[in-house]
Amino acid sequence: MAGHSKWANIQHRKGRQDKLRSKLFSKLAKEITVAAKMGDPDPDKNPRLRLAVKEAKSQSVPKDVIERAIKKSMGGDAENYDEIRYEGYGPNGVAVIVETMTDNKNRTASTVRSTFSKNGGNLGETGSVGFMFDRKGEVIYGADAGDADTVMEAAIDAGAEDCESDENGHRITCADTDLNDVSTALETALGESESTKLIWQPNITTELDLENMQKLMKLLDALEDDDDVQRVTTNFEASDEVMAQL
């Protein structure tokens, strides 16, 4: 959301949080199950699972839901999910990355393609927009974690690449492969984060006016309502004036 907020990348929009809460819990639980099944069910021995649990906790997923998701991975009847990334274009050529976990590739591909088409977008080939993003680790802290200098020092000591601060809090980014180590070091220095996850960070942005922003929001809402879709990321940029009108 560059131009409106320093936290450029849209993963979830707060305004729909209540409506999507149970759906969000379900998607986070799916990530936990997949991470635990792919590695060790002990978060201390499985970095991906540890990050998934951290993110679930930051979103207030109940402890029993997290525990059930891990136990589910150890059962013989646990579903097998494929992780598939789709890339496409929204209004005015804005880049869109859709990350999915599915037990039916044909269903998901058909639904994602149809959603793009029905909402003014076009599904592209793999790699068609990926070059417009860098894979990064992201750790978010609230303003109460400390002042900008304190958090910057902790970020540097932890091995992070960048730290942005404003009155709302702090956003720390690092290499994707360093996220587990960086987040663990930050937790020791600053306490538990508000969010810790892997993101696609735009290196090229596309400016949108109000009309195209409204079209994009419709597309993103439709994609995020799909149970197979885990995350949606775009590279849009909009002015404060446009965001206020939304």
Domain that holds residue 25: 1-133+202-246
Backbone angles phi, psi at 78, to 5 degrees: -65, 135
Q: What is the CATH number of the domain that holds 181?
A: 3.30.70.980
- Bridge partners (DSSP) of residue 100 are 84, 229
pLDDT level of residue 17 (50, 70, 90 thresholds): low
Per-residue pLDDT at 12 exceeds 60:
no
Query: What pLDDT is recorded for position 18?
Result: 58
Same domain (yes/no): 187, 157: yes
Identify which of 222, 224, 228 has the alpha carbon closest to the alpha carbon of residue 103. Answer: 228
Please state, in angstroms and rounded to a whole number, the distance separating the CA atoms of residues 80 and 104.
10
SS3 76: coil
- Based on the domain organization, do 9 and 88 belong to the same domain? yes
Residues 5 and 123 in one domain: yes
Both 14 and 67 in a single domain?
yes
Cα 129 to Cα 30, 141, 173, 188, 206: the distances in Å are: 26, 29, 21, 37, 12
Counting residues of the chain whose pLDDT is more than 70, the rounded percentage is: 91
- Cα(173)–Cα(13) distance, integer angstroms: 20
Looking at the structure, do residues 213 and 197 belong to the same domain, yes or no? Answer: no
Q: How far apart are CA 32 and CA 246, in angstroms?
A: 34
**25 & 11 share domain:** yes
Structure tokens at 135: 């894979």
Task: Kindly state whether residues 117 and 224 are assigned to the same domain.
Answer: yes
- Looking at residue 130, what DSSP letter applies? G
- pLDDT over 90 at 14, yes or no: no
**Are residue 195 and residue 209 in the same domain, yes or no?**
no
**Could you tell me if 193 and 217 lie in one domain?**
no
Same domain, 217 and 183: no
The answer on 145 and 184 residing in a single domain is yes
pLDDT band at 171 (very low <50, low <70, confident <90, very high): very high
> Quick one: average pLDDT of 119-144?
94
Q: Do 207 and 235 form a contact (C-beta atoms < 8 A)?
A: no
Residues 112 and 157 in one domain: no
* Mean pLDDT for the stretch of residues 186-197: 92
- Domain total of the chain: 2
CB 223 within 8 A of CB 98: yes
What confidence tier does 107 reach under pLDDT thresholds 50, 70, 90? very high
